[in-house]
Amino acid sequence: MKRRSLLDRLFNLLGGELRTKDDLLPIIRDASQRGLVAPVVVGMIEGVFRFSNCKVEDVMVQRSQMVVVETGWTLEKMLEVITESGHSRFPVQDTGNDKFVGLLLAKDLLRYALPGESRSNFEIHNCLRDVVFVPESQPLNVLLDEFKRKRTHMALVVAEYNNVVGLVTIEDVLEQIVGEIDDEFDINEEGGIVADS
């Protein structure tokens, strides 16, 4: 005899049979109204269903909105851009062309920002990490697996001829499931920084 899943048993208990996700959502919403399922769980389940239909291009940051660092910049300029942006990861573009050569983590520059540390030893290429490139048509579930497998939190998005059209982060992907994730540098609609609670 075939073993039935927990969801199948739940639906049989509720007098139905699970055929599609459209059958599941009304039952879960009803369970939430009865206090059996927390509203946040309903939102996450709805997010999972939306997630399964999304591609990278649906959630990526457009190229025009990317904050990048260039290989020809001085350390001071890099530190200024990094400090002003509030981001922790930066695509690194080769100065003078459109080629991206790696990924820079802000924490890798900390040792050069400390008082007494010699900035003359700074060489951007010694701080670069490998960058992952993904097609804009890639499904988000595949991207999430790639992020986990490659242990990275950011990928550059490429179009048909391998030109970079944007970037995507693990936060962009997870927000499709759990909703907006505000951090200490997110700006609210009034222009103020969102306070940590």
Same domain, 69 and 132: yes
Q: What is the 3-state secondary structure (H, E, C) of 141-175?
A: HHHHHHHHHHCCCEEEEECCCCCEEEEEEHHHHHH
Does the residue 90 lie in any domain?
yes
Same-domain status, 87 and 143? yes
Write out pLDDT tens, residues 58-98.
999 999 999 999 999 999 899 999 999 989 999 999 998 88
Considering the domain architecture, whether residues 27 and 109 belong to the same structural domain is answered as: no
How far apart are the C-alpha atoms of 93 and 72, rounded to whole Å?
9
Tokens standing for residue 67: 């904050």
Please indicate, yes or no, if residue 172 is contained in any of the structural domains. yes
In tens, the pLDDT along 26-61 reads 878 887 888 887 888 878 787 777 777 899 999 999
Q: Does the residue 42 lie in any domain?
A: yes
pTM for this prediction? 0.74
| One domain, residues 36 and 87 | no
**Residue at 10 is within a domain:** yes
Q: Is residue 108 part of a domain?
A: yes
Cα–Cα distance measured from residue 89 to residue 161, given in angstroms and rounded to the nearest whole number: 25
Which structural domain range is residue 22 located in?
6-53
Q: Is the distance from CB of 112 to CB of 75 less than 8 angstroms?
A: yes
Does residue 154 surpass a pLDDT of 90? Answer: yes
Q: For position 18, what pLDDT does the model report?
A: 59
In the predicted structure, residue 156 carries a pLDDT above the cut 60: yes
The reply to whether 186 falls in a domain is: no
